Amino acid sequence: MLSEKLEAALNAQMNWEIYSAHIYLSMSSHFAQEGLPGIGQWMYAQYQEEMFHALKFFNYINEAGGHAKLGVIDAPAYSWETPLAAFEEALEHERGVTARINALADLAQDERNHAVGIFLQWFISEQVEEEDTVSDVVGKLKMVGDGGGLFMLDRDLGTRVFTPPVAA
């Protein structure tokens, strides 16, 4: 059973995951229009991953006796000066997601809701991966700059596809 406070916090995170998906989908469109389809594909795979996260929250809230409530989602930005600027924004965003997930885990612990705590463990581990993946791309973009290396990096990033994790 979820307390009202925990249910509201889980719903807020579910909606934040949808917002995260919108950011990445907007980035995908931007880079497709900028002639960087590989980065666009990378961002599209990230969009799919964020929607997967949102649906995990949606299903969990309902299964735990709560009511998943969709809220208003703010419009994301729609253009970025450079690929590096977009990935730096994505990294900052992922750091914010990590802070939100950690706050949720703290709330679950405070309420002694071990089931929610266990559910959130997957997201805690996932955020380590999320930050590392985006940070890696930021580092590569800083190395290659805007020259010919960007073409090769765009090609490499375009090989990313979203594969939903296998249920444990």
DSSP 17-38: HHHHHHHHHHHHHHHHHTT-HH
Domains of the chain: 4-157 (1.20.1260.10)
Q: Does 125 have pLDDT greater than 70?
A: yes
Under the banding of pLDDT at 50, 70 and 90, the label for residue 42 is very high
Give the per-residue pLDDT at 166.
77
Q: Does 46 have pLDDT greater than 70?
A: yes
Give the per-residue pLDDT at 168.
54
User: CB within 8 A of 8, min separation 6: which ones?
Assistant: none
Q: Does 167 have pLDDT greater than 70?
A: no
pTM beyond 0.85: yes
Distance of CA 154 to the CA centre of its chain: 20
The per-residue DSSP string of 130-158 comes to: HHHHHHHHHHHHHHHTTSHHHHHHHHHHT
Average pLDDT (37-45) is: 95
Measured CA to CA, the distance from residue 98 to residue 101 in angstroms comes to 5
Measured CA to CA, the distance from residue 136 to residue 8 in angstroms comes to 34
Measured CA to CA, the distance from residue 142 to residue 67 in angstroms comes to 44
Query: What would you report as the CA-atom Rg of the chain, rounded to the nearest whole angstrom?
Result: 17
Helices and strands (H and E) in the chain: how many: 5, 0
Residue-wise pLDDT for 18-37, tens only, equals: 999 999 999 999 999 999 99
Cβ pair 149, 143 in contact under 8 A: yes
Measured CA to CA, the distance from residue 153 to residue 149 in angstroms comes to 6
Measured CA to CA, the distance from residue 150 to residue 147 in angstroms comes to 6
Cβ pair 33, 80 in contact under 8 A: no
Residue-wise pLDDT for 50-103, tens only, equals: 999 999 999 999 999 999 999 999 999 999 999 999 999 999 999 999 999 999
- Tokens for 71, please give them: 């809220």
Give the per-residue pLDDT at 119.
98
